[in-house]
Structure 1
Amino acid sequence: MKWASLARRYRGYKALLQHYPSASVVIWNGIKGQRSLLVHAARELGREVFYFEEAPLPKRLTIDRSGVNFGSSLPRDPAFYTAWLKACGVDPEAWRDVGRQIVPRPSDKRDDIRSENAPSELAQERFIFCPLQVPRDSQITIYGDWIKSVEEMIDHLKAASQHLPDGWHLRIKEHPSSKISFFDKLSALESDKFRVDNVTNTMDQIALSHAVLNVNSSVGLQAFFFNKPVIVLGQAFYCFDKLATKVNGLSDLADILTKPEDLTFSQNLRNAFMSYLCEDYYPMEQDVLDGTYGPEQVRQRDRDRDAILATL
Structure 2
Amino acid sequence: MYMTLNAPDLVRPLYRAISPHLSQPLERHWRLPSLRQGGTSMPADVWMRIEAMEREERRQRRQQPLSSVEIESIRSLRTRQWFGLLALFERKSVSAVLVWNGYRGRRGLLVEAAKARDIPVVFLERCAFPGFVQVDRDGINVGSRTLNSKDYHQQEPDEAIGRWFRASQRQRRGVNPFAPAQRPAEDLPKRFLYCPLQVAADTQLSVFGGWVRDMPDFLVALTKACEALPADMALVVRPHPSCRVGQTSALHLALTNPRIRVIEGSTSAEMLKNCEAVVTVNSSVGLEAFAYDKPVITLGESFYRGPGLTAQAESAAELKGLFSQIDSLDFDAQLRRRFLTWLREAGFQRWPRHARDPAAKALAERIDALISA
TM-score normalized by the length of structure 1? 0.84
Q: State how far apart, in whole Å, the 2-side matches of 1:65 and 1:302 are.
A: 8
Instruction: Rate the CA distance shift 1:104–1:151 in 2: closer, same or farther, 3 A.
Output: farther
Instruction: Rate the CA distance shift 1:302–1:99 in 2: closer, same or farther, 3 A.
Output: farther
Q: State how far apart, in whole Å, the 1-side matches of 2:149 and 2:366 are.
A: 23
Partner of 1:200: 266
Partner of 2:42: none
2:167 is aligned, of 93, 100, 107, to: 100
Instruction: Rate the CA distance shift 1:95–1:131 in 2: closer, same or farther, 3 A.
Output: closer
Q: Sequence identity of aligned pairs in percent? A: 28
1:189 is aligned, of 254, 261, 269, to: 254
Instruction: Rate the CA distance shift 1:37–1:188 in 2: closer, same or farther, 3 A.
Output: closer
Mapping of 1:292-303 within 5 angstroms? 292-298=361-367
Contact 1:130 1:173 in 2 (8 A): yes
Partner of 1:50: 122
Aligned length: 292
Instruction: Rate the CA distance shift 1:19–1:99 in 2: closer, same or farther, 3 A.
Output: farther
SS at match of 2:211: coil
2:158 is aligned, of 75, 91, 94, to: 91
Query: Which ranges in structure 1 are unaligned for 5 or more consecutive residues?
Result: 107-114, 307-312
Q: RMSD of the alignment, in Å? A: 2.7
The more displaced of 69-78 and 3-12 is 69-78
Contact 1:169 1:193 in 2 (8 A): yes
SS at match of 1:195: strand
SS at match of 2:317: helix
Contact 2:142 2:208 in 1 (8 A): yes
Mapped pair 1:247 → 2:319:
no
1:63 is aligned, of 135, 157, 161, to: 135
Shift of 1:179: 4.5
Mapping of 1:105-116 within 5 angstroms? 116=181
Instruction: Rate the CA distance shift 1:124–1:143 in 2: closer, same or farther, 3 A.
Output: closer
Q: State how far apart, in whole Å, the 2-side matches of 1:146 and 1:70 are.
A: 15
Q: State how far apart, in whole Å, the 1-side matches of 2:295 and 2:335 are.
A: 13
Query: Which ranges in structure 2 are unaligned for 5 or more consecutive residues?
Result: 1-71, 174-179
SS at match of 1:292: helix
2:281 is aligned, of 203, 215, 227, to: 215
Partner of 2:152: 81
Partner of 1:7: 79
The more displaced of 46-55 and 281-290 is 281-290
Residues 4-36 of structure 1, C-alpha deviation per residue, up to 9 Å, x if partnerless? 322221121122122222432111100122211
Contact 2:99 2:121 in 1 (8 A): yes
Contact 1:281 1:301 in 2 (8 A): no
Which amino acid in 2 is paired with 1:294?
A: L
Contact 2:122 2:370 in 1 (8 A): no
1:24 is aligned, of 96, 114, 136, to: 96
Partner of 1:110: none
Which amino acid in 1 is paired with 2:309?
A: L
Residues 271-305 of structure 1, C-alpha deviation per residue, up to 9 Å, x if partnerless? 221111011222222267543223322465899xx
Instruction: Rate the CA distance shift 1:98–1:105 in 2: closer, same or farther, 3 A.
Output: closer
Partner of 1:111: none
Larger Rg: 2
Instruction: Rate the CA distance shift 1:280–1:34 in 2: closer, same or farther, 3 A.
Output: same
Partner of 2:328: 262
Partner of 2:111: 39
Partner of 1:237: 303
Contact 1:74 1:237 in 2 (8 A): no
SS at match of 2:208: coil
Shift of 1:253: 0.4
Contact 1:163 1:258 in 2 (8 A): yes
Mapped pair 1:156 → 2:226:
no
Which amino acid in 1 is paired with 2:142?
A: F
SS at match of 2:170: coil
Mapping of 1:264-283 within 5 angstroms? 264-283=330-349
Shift of 1:220: 0.8
Q: State how far apart, in whole Å, the 2-side matches of 1:99 and 1:249 are.
A: 31
Residues 181-225 of structure 1, C-alpha deviation per residue, up to 9 Å, x if partnerless? 634542443233111111111111011111111110111111111
Q: State how far apart, in whole Å, the 1-side matches of 2:334 and 2:288 are.
A: 17
Shift of 1:175: 0.7
Partner of 1:174: 239
Contact 1:104 1:203 in 2 (8 A): no
Q: State how far apart, in whole Å, the 2-side matches of 1:192 and 1:103 are.
A: 32
SS at match of 1:53: strand
SS at match of 2:79: helix
Which amino acid in 2 is paired with 1:176?
A: P
Which amino acid in 2 is paired with 1:31?
A: Y
Shift of 1:238: 0.5
